[in-house]
Amino acid sequence: MSNSKATGRLSVEYMTRIALLTALSSILFLLEIPVIAFYKLDFSNLPVLLGAFSMGPVPGLIILGLKALIGCTHSSSMMVGELADFLTGLFFILPAAIYYRKHKTRRGAIVGMVLGILCQVVVSVVINKFLMIPFYMNAFNMPIDVIIDMGRKAIPFVDTEWKLLLVVTAPFNLLKGFAISLVTALIYKPLSPYLHVRSRG
């Protein structure tokens, strides 16, 4: 097979896998599980992480970006929620995928996911502090006390914005990252033959 035909087939296979993982990610984005206060758990970044591990960081980010764009078509937060989801996902997927690309072992995958989880937790606090909370305050005329009270209903001693961020937001994103990483660790190897794009002679 000529190089051009091989490259063309690889491109088609990459695009096919990206499209399938994007579709799955978009569906999972709609399936939310209430966890605590106003936070809901979804597994939409699971296909993103699978794609990033199997094809590399760039295809992973393409899947993440396409998922966000599709989410914007039915956004209930003027696309701000989708932006926040994209940014937290970015800082979860990118460190994990980059580390795994350099250390393609089970240990490398685990270390990469731990790095991604830690980055996601930190970024989630920053995003909620400077993007999501101000958005809800301005767009829905929601005083900060009302937002804090939502957290207090779940955890009684939450009585300040920083307690909300550190006691509710951070642990929720820790849980979300751990759940996605755990499922990835369980299913990645069995699915690996179907996820990887291999050249053919």
Q: Which helix (H) or strand (E) holds 120?
A: helix 106-127
Q: Which domains does the chain have, with CATH numbers?
A: 3-195 (1.10.1760.20)
Sequence-separated (6 or more) residues with CB below 8 Å from residue 11: none
Supply the pLDDT for residue 166: 95
Full-model pTM: 0.88
How many other C-beta atoms are found inside a 10 Å radius of the C-beta of residue 101?
A: 14
Sequence-separated (6 or more) residues with CB below 8 Å from residue 199: 6, 10
Supply the pLDDT for residue 201: 44
Q: Which of 76, 72, 77, 68 is nearest to 136 (CA)?
A: 77
- Identify the three-state secondary structure at position 190: helix
Cα distance between residue 27 and residue 39, in whole Å = 18
**In the chain, which stretches have pLDDT less than 70?**
1-10, 197-201
